[in-house]
Amino acid sequence: MKKLLKILSDITQDRQFFAGLIGVAILLLLVVFAPLITKYPADFYGPDSLARPGSPGHWLGTNHMGQDIWSMLVYGTRTSLWVAVVAAFISGSIGLLVGGVAGFFGGKTDMVISEIINIFMMIPDLFLIMLVVALFGNSLTNVMVIIGLTTWPRNAKLMRAQTLSLKERVFVAGARAMGENKNQILFKYIIPNGMYPVISNTTMSMAYAVLTEAALSFMGLGDPNVISWGQMINDGRNYITHAPWVSVLAGLAVVFTVLVFNLLGDGLNHILNPQKLQRGER
């Protein structure tokens, strides 16, 4: 109970994490209660084209197709969060496994994996994502998987550094003395104790996933069958001079979501700081 109270105290005292948590809660509420807080479905095309914000029935206005901007923003939240969560999970999982194996086994294994990581980090992420999307299609599933598969090297670098430090600790030596094999030590002791920096970095990479998906949709490489904020920005650019709300509101939604994930990740970095965890401050 005391430990739980301590964690809650840390959460409320870290302003960045607390602000990020509130932001995530707002986004989740929009996703869960989308049908209740929107008047129109996402695919509704009404007669009111480019209605201004504050118009009857459309408090944030409409686009050139008569679609309600508020409804599109809310349903676009589902797309962005889904992309962020799935891409971050793929990136974090691969990073933990690859970095853990490289740091723990060392030698030629570490050398080969490190070179592979360096090669991936030298290739511009967005260029690689655009290339793969162009080759294999622009479905939402492909976009999520590709973003995850191109962002794991940073997590692998972090996990490798953590593993190099942890494998020399006393508790690992004790596990070896007790007869536990290398796989048991890696998955029971190394990865669980070294994953905290990866968690915070993965949370921040969710912001990158949101930005990347929006950029792909803006360039016409996103999934045309889902509502996307990047797609909304692209649709509204032809009307930016006399109907700026179409692009501006979608852009603000992207900025808000990216800010939320950055605050959450930065706050997690404070709370899960390995040095503070070791000193018992967290």
Burial 188-203 (b: 16+ CB within 10 A, else e): ebbbebbbbbbbbbbb
262 in Cβ contact with 21 (< 8 Å): no
When pLDDT is averaged across residues 116-140 and rounded to a whole number, the result is 83
pLDDT at 261: 92
Question: Does the structure show a pLDDT above 60 at 76?
Answer: yes
pLDDT recorded at residue 229: 92
What value does the mean pLDDT take over residues 105-121? 89
Residue 282, pLDDT > 70, answer no
Q: Which of 20, 40, 38, 42 is nearest to 30 (CA)?
A: 38
SS3 category, 62: strand
- pTM confidence score: 0.85
Joined tokens for residue 194? 């070294």
- Full set of structural domains in the chain with CATH: 15-28+64-279 (1.10.3720.10)
Query: For residue 278, what pLDDT is reported?
Result: 47
* 280 has a pLDDT exceeding 50: no
- 47-52 mean pLDDT: 84
Dist CA 274 CA 268 (whole Å): 11
Whether residue 82 is predicted with pLDDT greater than 90 in this model: the reply is yes
- State yes or no: pLDDT of 273 exceeds 90: no
DSSP 220-236: T-S-TTS--HHHHHHHH
* CA distances in angstroms from 101 to 96, 182, 186, listed in the order given: 8, 10, 8
* Residue predicted with more confidence, 49 or 74: 74
Where residue 120 falls among pLDDT bands split at 50, 70, 90? Answer: confident
Compute the distance between CA of residue 58 and CA of residue 246 in angstroms, rounded to an integer. Answer: 12
pLDDT number for residue 3 = 52
- Give the Cβ contact number of residue 184 at 10 Å: 13
* Alpha-carbon gap, residue 35 to 86, rounded angstroms: 23
